[in-house]
Structure 1
Amino acid sequence: MESIGDLMHGFAVVLSWQNLLYMVIGIVLGVIIGVLPGLGGANGVAILLPLTFSMPPTSAIILLSCIYWGALFGGAITSILFNIPGEPWSVATTFDGHPMAQNGKAGEALTAAFTSSFVGALFAVIVITLAAPLVASFALQFGPAEKFSVFFLAFCSFVGMGKEPPTKTIAAMMLGFVLAAVGTDTVTGQLRLTFGSTELLSGFDFLIAVIGLFGIGEILLTMEEGLSFRGKAASINPTVVWQTWKELPRYWMTSLRSCLIGCWMGITPAGATPASFMSYGIAKRTSRNGDKFGQGEIEGVVAPETAAHAAGTSALLPMLSLGVPGSPTAAVLLGGLLIWGLQPGPLLFVEQKDFVWGLIASMYLGNIVGLIIVLTMVPFFAAILRVPFSIIAPIILVICAIGAYTVHNNTFDVVMMLVFGVAGYFLKKCNYPLAPLVLAIVLGDKAEESFRQSLLISQGGLGVFFSNALVSTIMVLGLVALFWPALSNLYGRLLTPRRAA
C-alpha cells in the first residue's frame, strides 16, 4: 500500500504542465530517433543528455526516458514499412511486419506493433512498481563486498549471456576498465594513465565517450553503407485500429509469454535484441500458424515487439534499485543520474522519493502518450525517411559536437568525441560490442572502489567475497552466468546419450 501511495505522489509530480510538455517532446524526439537507422535509444539519450544539465533532475529524466520509449516505438515503423530495422531489436519485427505491409496490411501491422509494445512496456512498469522497492530495501544490507558481487554479476552476465563472442565482449570490457582508470586514484590520490596531460586529470567523461562511440560511430558506419530508403506508405484510421484490437486478444498467451521473456532478459541483463528473437522463435514453434510465420502473420509481429519493450523497460529495475544498468540506454541514464548528483541504488528510494516515483509514474503516462502519438502521426514519421541521409548526417554530427562541448565547455572534449567516434566505427566494423564497454566505463571505478574496500576490510583476503550467504550466492550466480555457454553445452552432451538410449 505504501508503494501505491508513493506512486500517486509520483503522478502528482509528473502531472505538471512542464513535465507533460517534456514528455510529449521526448516521445516525438524518440520516435524520430528510432525511425532513423544509425541512431537509436542509447545514441539519442547520449546526444541530448548535455542539454538537460540546466533542468531539474526529475524533468530531465522524464524527457530522456520518454526519448527512450519513443525510440522503442519508432523502430517498428521502419521495420514494417521499409524493411530497415530502426533498432537492433526490430530485426525480428521485419520477418512478418514487412510482408504484411507488402500485402496491403501496413496499418494492421503497425497497430499490432504499437499496441504490443505498449502492453510489454506496461507489464514491465508494473513489475518495476512492485519489485523495485523490495529489491531496494533488500539491497540496504549491502556492504562493499556485496556491492562488488552485484557489479561482478552484471559484468559476467554480459560475457556469458550476451549474443556476441565472449572473447570480444571481454576485450571491449577490458578497454572500458582501462578508460575508467584514467585520472586520479580515489583511494591513494596517485595519477594514473594521464601521460602528463592536464586535461586527463579528471579522467574520461563517460558522456564524451558515449556520444562518440554511439553517435559518431553509428553515423560513420551508416554513411559508409549508403542507406537508401524505399518502402510502403501507410496510414492508420480508427477502423483499422479497432479491427486490429479486436483480433489481438486471440494472442493473449503469446503476449504474456513475451512479457515474461522480455522482463527476464531485461533484468538479467541480456537485452531487448535477444528477447525479441527468443520470443519470436518460441512463438513460431508453439503457434498453430507457425508454418505461416515469415509470410505476414500478425502473431509474428506481436511476439518480438512485446518482448523488446518489456526488456527495454525492465532494464531500468536493476539500475534504479541496485545502481547496475540492464541495457546500454540504462547505462547512459545511470551516468546522467551521477552527473545530476544522484546516486542510483537503494538509498535513492529513501532520499529522492519524488525523483524515483516521478520517473515510475512517467513510465505509465509516457507509454500512453507514446501510443497515441505513434497511432496518429505514422505518415509524418515515415516521411522523415524521404529526407536524404546526406542532409540528416551532418545535422546529427553538429548536435553531437554541441553536446560534447557543453559538458565542460572545452574543445578538448570535442576532439576526444571524434577520437571515440573513430574508435567506435572500427569496433563496430570488427563486430566488437559497445554495451559492455560503456558498462565498464560507467561502473569500472565503482567496482574497483568496492573491490579495494573489501580487501582493506579483510586485510587482503579474497574469502570476503564468500563470507556470508548473500555475497556467496551473488558471486556463484555471477560465475554461473560467466560459464553459462560451457555449462549449457555440457548439459546438452549429458542428455544426448540418454536420448540415444
Structure 2
Amino acid sequence: MDDFSNLMGGFAVAMTGPNLLYMLVGILLGVLIGVLPGLGGANGVAILLPLTFSMNPTSAIIMLSCIYWGALFGGAITSILFNIPGEPWSVATTFDGFPMAQQGRAAQALTAAFTSSFVGAFFAVLLITFLAPWLAKFALKFGPAEFFAVQLLTFCSFVGMSKEPPMKTIAAMMLGFALAAVGMDTVTGQLRMTFGVPELLKGFDFLIAVIGLFGIGEILLTMEEGLAFKGKSARISPKVVWQTWAEIAKHWKVFLRSTAIGCWMGITPGGATPASFMGYGVAQRFSKNPQQFGKGAIEGVVAPETAAHAAGTSALLPMLTLGIPGSPTAAVLLGGLLIWGLQPGPMLFVEQKDFVWGLIASMYLGNLVGLLVVLTTVPWWAALLRIPFSVIAPVIIVICAIGAYTVHSSMFDVVLMLVFGVLGYFFKKLKYPLAPLVLALVLGDMAEASFRQAMLLSQGSLGIFWSNGLVGSIVALALAMLVWPLLSFARQTLRRRELRPAA
C-alpha cells in the first residue's frame, strides 16, 4: 500500500508542467537520435547529459530517460523503412520489417513495432514498480563485501553472457579498470598514472570517454562505410492502427515470451541487443509458420521489439536499487546521478523518495507519450533521412564537441574526446565490445572502494567473501559466470570428438 501511495506521489511529481515539457522534448530528441544511424541511446544521453547540469535532478533524469525511450522507438523507423538499423538492437527488426515495407505494409510493420515496444517497456516498468522497493529493502543488509560481490557478478556476467569472445571482453574491461584508476587514490592520497599531466589529477571523466567512444567512434566508422539512405515512405492512419492491433493481439504468447526474455536480459547484464535476437529466435522456434520468418512475418517484428524494450527498461532496476547498471545507457545514467550528488542504491529509496518515484512514474508516462509521438510523426523522421549523411555527420561531431567542452569548460576534454573517439573506432573495427570498458570505467572506483573496505574489515582475509550464505552465493554465481565460456568450449570440443568418425 505504501508503494502505491509513493507511486501516486511520483505521478504528482512527473505530471508538473515543466516535467511534462521535458518529457516531450526528451522523447522527440530520443526519436531523432534513434533515427540517425551513428548515434544511439547511450550516445544521445551522454552527449546531452552536460546540458542538464543546471536542471534539478528529477527533471534531468526524466528528460534523459525519455531520450532513451525515444531512441528505442526511433531505431525501428530506419530498420523498417530503410533496412538500416538505427540502433544495434534494431538489427533483428530488419529481418521481417523491411520485407513488410517492400510488400507495401510499412505502416503495419511500424505500428506493430511501436506497439510491441510499448508493451515490452510497460511490463518492465511494472516489474520495476513492484520489485524495486523489495530489492532495495533487501539490499539495505548489504555491507562492503556484499556490494563487491554484486559488482563482481556484474563484471563476470559480461564475460559469461557476452556474444563477443571472452578474451576480448576481459581485455576491454581491463582497459576500463586502468582508466578508472588514473588520478588521486582516495585512500592514500597518492597519484596514479597521471604522468605529470595536471588535468589528469581528477582522472578520466566517464562522460568524455563515453561521448568519444560511442559518438565519435561510430561516426568515423559510418563515414568510412559511406552510408547512403534509400528506403520506403510510410504514413500511419487510425484504420491501419486498429487493424494491426487486432492482428498482433492474436500473438499474445509472443508478447509474453519476449517480455520475459527482455526483462531477464535487462536485469542481468545481457542488454537489449542479445535480447532482441533471442526473442526473434524463440518466436521463430515456437511459430506455427516458421518458414514465413524473414519474408515479412509480423511476429518477426513483434518479438525483437518487445524483447529489446523490456530489456532496455528493466536494465534500470539494478541501477536504481544496487547501483549496478544493466546496460551502457544505464551506466551513463548512473554517472549522471553521481554527478548530481545522488548515490544509486538502497538508500536512494529512503532519502530521495520523490526522485525515485517521480522517475518510475515518468517511465509510464514517457512510454505512452513516445507511442503517441511516433505513431503521428513517422513521415517527419523518414524525411530527415533524405538529408545526405555528409551533412549530418559534421553536425553530430560538433554537438559531441560542445557536450565534451561543457563538462569542465576545458579544451583538454575535447582533445580527450577525440582520442577516445579514435580508440572507439579501432575497437569497433577490431570487434572489441565497448560496453565492458564503459562499465569498468564507471564502476571501477566503486568496486575498488568496496573491495578495500572489505579487506580492512577482515584484516586482509579473502574469507570475508565466504563469510555468510548471501555473499558466498553471489561470489559463487560470479565465478560460475566467469568460467562458463570455458565450460561451453569444453562441452563443444567433447561433442565434436564424439561426432568425429572413427579412423
TM-score, length of structure 1 as denominator length: 0.98
CA distance in 2, matches of 1:371, 1:398: 30
CA contact (8 A) 1:116 1:255 kept: yes
Residue 197 of structure 1 deviates from its aligned partner by 1.2
Residue 74 of structure 1 deviates from its aligned partner by 0.4
CA distance in 2, matches of 1:238, 1:189: 64
* 1:428-439 correspondence to structure 2 within 5 Å: 428-439=428-439
**What corresponds to 2:136 in structure 1?**
136
**What corresponds to 2:334 in structure 1?**
334
**What corresponds to 1:168 in structure 2?**
168
**What corresponds to 1:279 in structure 2?**
279
CA distance in 1, matches of 2:259, 2:140: 29
CA contact (8 A) 1:258 1:279 kept: yes
**What corresponds to 1:52 in structure 2?**
52
CA contact (8 A) 2:30 2:44 kept: yes
CA distance in 2, matches of 1:34, 1:43: 10
CA distance in 1, matches of 2:442, 2:485: 26
**Letter matched to residue 389 of structure 2:** F
- Call closer, same or farther: CA 1:497–1:399 in 2, change over 3 Å: closer
- Call closer, same or farther: CA 1:216–1:271 in 2, change over 3 Å: same
Is 2:119 aligned against 1:119? yes
TM-score, length of structure 2 as denominator length: 0.98
**What corresponds to 2:214 in structure 1?**
214
CA contact (8 A) 2:172 2:436 kept: yes
Describe the SS at the equivalent of 1:326.
coil
CA distance in 2, matches of 1:115, 1:324: 29
Residue 460 of structure 1 deviates from its aligned partner by 1.1
CA distance in 1, matches of 2:403, 2:94: 33
Deviation track 1:62-95 (CA, whole Å, cap 9, x = no partner) reads 0000000000000000000000000111010000
**What corresponds to 2:417 in structure 1?**
417
CA distance in 1, matches of 2:210, 2:337: 15
Is 2:484 aligned against 1:484? yes
Describe the SS at the equivalent of 2:471.
helix
Residue 453 of structure 1 deviates from its aligned partner by 1.0
Residue 312 of structure 1 deviates from its aligned partner by 0.4
CA distance in 2, matches of 1:211, 1:183: 20
CA distance in 1, matches of 2:134, 2:261: 21
Residue 487 of structure 1 deviates from its aligned partner by 3.2
* 1:55-204 correspondence to structure 2 within 5 Å: 55-204=55-204
Residue 221 of structure 1 deviates from its aligned partner by 0.8
CA distance in 1, matches of 2:467, 2:497: 39
Deviation track 1:365-412 (CA, whole Å, cap 9, x = no partner) reads 000000000000000011111111111111111111111111111111
Is 2:426 aligned against 1:457? no
CA distance in 1, matches of 2:250, 2:495: 36
CA contact (8 A) 1:161 1:482 kept: no
CA distance in 2, matches of 1:164, 1:302: 26
Residue 493 of structure 1 deviates from its aligned partner by 7.6
- What is the aligned length? 500
* 1:330-369 correspondence to structure 2 within 5 Å: 330-369=330-369
**What corresponds to 2:237 in structure 1?**
237
Give me the identity figure in percent.
Answer: 75
Q: Structure 2: 5+ residue runs without aligned partners?
A: none
CA contact (8 A) 2:166 2:485 kept: no
Moved more, 480-489 or 380-389: 480-489
Describe the SS at the equivalent of 1:386.
coil
- Call closer, same or farther: CA 1:296–1:147 in 2, change over 3 Å: same
CA contact (8 A) 2:113 2:301 kept: yes
**Letter matched to residue 83 of structure 1:** N
CA distance in 2, matches of 1:103, 1:311: 30
**Letter matched to residue 369 of structure 2:** V
Moved more, 294-303 or 483-492: 483-492
CA distance in 1, matches of 2:310, 2:18: 27
**Letter matched to residue 108 of structure 2:** E
Q: Structure 1: 5+ residue runs without aligned partners?
A: none
Residue 195 of structure 1 deviates from its aligned partner by 0.8
CA contact (8 A) 2:213 2:434 kept: yes
CA distance in 2, matches of 1:484, 1:311: 22
Residue 489 of structure 1 deviates from its aligned partner by 5.0
**Letter matched to residue 40 of structure 1:** G
Is 2:249 aligned against 1:256? no
Deviation track 1:243-302 (CA, whole Å, cap 9, x = no partner) reads 001111110001000000000001111111111111111111110011111100001100
CA distance in 2, matches of 1:360, 1:14: 9
Is 2:371 aligned against 1:371? yes
Deviation track 1:212-237 (CA, whole Å, cap 9, x = no partner) reads 11111111111111100000000100
Residue 485 of structure 1 deviates from its aligned partner by 2.5
**What corresponds to 1:21 in structure 2?**
21
Is 2:35 aligned against 1:35? yes
**Letter matched to residue 426 of structure 1:** F
Deviation track 1:433-479 (CA, whole Å, cap 9, x = no partner) reads 11000000000011011111111111111111111101001101111
CA distance in 2, matches of 1:69, 1:223: 26
Is 2:295 aligned against 1:308? no
CA contact (8 A) 2:182 2:200 kept: yes
CA distance in 2, matches of 1:299, 1:13: 37
Is 2:246 aligned against 1:246? yes
**What corresponds to 2:8 in structure 1?**
8
Deviation track 1:332-383 (CA, whole Å, cap 9, x = no partner) reads 0000000000000000000000110000000000000000000000000111
CA distance in 2, matches of 1:406, 1:431: 31
CA contact (8 A) 1:136 1:321 kept: yes
Residue 486 of structure 1 deviates from its aligned partner by 3.0
CA contact (8 A) 2:81 2:232 kept: yes
CA distance in 2, matches of 1:132, 1:493: 41
**Letter matched to residue 403 of structure 2:** G
